[in-house]
């Protein structure tokens, strides 16, 4: 079984480089750069489309033969303001030069050649509450299916207050059976506030063939190849994660764990 909890490879430079090959699946890629002022990084997209997310800090971005100028305004991810993001199609390249300390996420999936390079935020992204009680969390939808901005990628941010749950009730999207369900691989890039904290994430199938419980820490990434995948933020620690999803169809359709579906019905 592929390791589902990925630790960063250092504190500067490209600290995550998750590819379909290293994840053991076919669609989602996730890279993360932690940069200091003046650091420069560049990549070609090849046959993949990319969404760059300025998680924190600012950088001067060039992509798809255009100069997008300095992007980024959110200096602390936990202020919950909408992120600056850029869509870069397949067959192009991009480069970033950090103008402050900067955390840059590179979300990727197979390209379709159907969408042009464009800014995706902060305009058009509005923090939205979801759930109630101890299941309350707050969403910045960067590129979910309601925004026709990508061919394959689905990308969103989730802020879970201390003591609350998210990605809950437990749900899965691991069958290509639209409209009942869509097959979507998924990564979670975790941050905690304070940074010394941890989250709890379980990934499991109903038949028990996969059942792992992890305690991701600040800057860790978790993989969800299949199954249900609830998260919890312990008392005292707010949780942020950046979700990247992709599969054969750019739609998010899921099924709740039958054992816990009563929660969703009660809260409907």
d(CA 262, CA 63): 47
Q: What is the pLDDT, as a whole number, of residue 266?
A: 86
Q: What are the φ and ψ backbone dihedral angles of 69, each rounded to 5 degrees?
A: 75, -165
CA triplet 235, 195, 219: central angle to 5 degrees? 110
pTM above 0.75, yes or no: yes
Q: Domain 7-267: give its CATH superfamily.
A: Jelly Rolls (2.60.120.10)
Q: What is the per-residue pLDDT across 167-203, written as a single tens digit (0 to 9) for each?
A: 999 999 999 999 999 999 999 999 999 999 999 999 9
Which of 190, 145, 151 is CA-nearest to residue 32? 190
Q: How many residues does the chain have?
A: 268
Mean pLDDT of 1-25: 96
């Amino acid at each position: 079984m592929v390791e589902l909890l990925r630790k960063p490879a250092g504190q500067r430079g490209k600290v995550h480089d998750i590819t379909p090959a290293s994840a053991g699946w076919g669609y989602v890629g996730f890279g993360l750069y932690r940069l200091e002022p003046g650091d420069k990084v560049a990549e070609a997209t090849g046959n993949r489309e990319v969404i760059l997310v300025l998680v924190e800090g600012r950088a001067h971005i060039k992509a798809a033969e255009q100069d997008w100028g300095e992007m980024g305004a959110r200096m602390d991810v936990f202020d919950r303001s909408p992120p600056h993001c850029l869509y870069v199609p397949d067959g192009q390249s991009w480069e970033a030069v950090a103008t402050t300390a900067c955390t840059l996420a590179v979300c990727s999936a197979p390209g379709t050649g159907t969408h042009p390079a464009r800014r995706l935020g902060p305009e058009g992204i509005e923090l939205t509450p979801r759930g109630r009680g101890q299941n309350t969390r707050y969403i910045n939808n960067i590129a979910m299916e309601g925004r026709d901005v990508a061919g394959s990628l689905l990308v969103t941010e989730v802020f879970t207050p201390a003591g609350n749950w998210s990605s809950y009730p437990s749900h899965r999207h691991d069958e290509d059976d639209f409209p009942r369900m869509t097959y979507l691989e998924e990564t979670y890039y975790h941050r905690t506030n304070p940074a010394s904290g941890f989250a709890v994430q379980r990934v499991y199938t109903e038949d028990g063939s996969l059942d792992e419980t992890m305690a991701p820490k600040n800057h860790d990434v978790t993989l969800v190849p299949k199954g249900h995948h609830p998260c919890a933020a312990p008392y005292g620690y707010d949780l942020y994660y950046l979700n990247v999803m992709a599969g054969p169809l750019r739609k998010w359709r899921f099924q709740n764990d039958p054992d816990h579906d009563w929660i969703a019905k009660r809260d409907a």
